[in-house]
Amino acid sequence: MKASTFSRYVDQFGLPVIERQHRRGFRQFLVLWISIFVVMAIVTYSNWSLGFPSPVWLTLNGLIVMAFFGCAYQRYQLHRHIRRYHKQHPRR
């Protein structure tokens, strides 16, 4: 997310709304990705224990891990913008 986009969101919705959604979204982010990784681990373990080390499944696992890091990076950028906004606009 660009800083200009973040500023437009702050102007449109207000910083408290963005911060509240960011905190709520973090819980959802954790639940979603923990669930995905648990299912991935179970299916991968069962495939390998049955003797089916599928290259397609391993590729899918890699893509899911890349998607996780992409989402985590977006969350980090939003957190960084919020922190920078607090520094530039201190509360009185």
pLDDT tens digit string along 47-91? 888 888 788 888 888 899 999 999 999 999 999 999 998 898 887
Which residues, including other chains, have CB under 8 Å from residue 68's CB and lie 6 or more apart?
33, 36, 37
Q: Return the closest-CA partner of residue 76 out of 31, 7, 25, 10.
A: 25
Q: What confidence score (pLDDT) does residue 39 get?
A: 92
Report domain extents, the chain: 3-86
More confident of the two residues 69 and 3: 69
Q: What is the pLDDT of residues 9-56, one digit of tens each?
A: 888 898 899 999 888 888 899 999 999 999 998 988 888 888 887 888
The model's pTM? 0.73
Question: What per-residue string of b and e applies to 30-66 under the rule 16 or more CB within 10 Å gives b?
Answer: eeeeeeeeeeeeeebeeeeeeeeeeeeeeeebeeeee
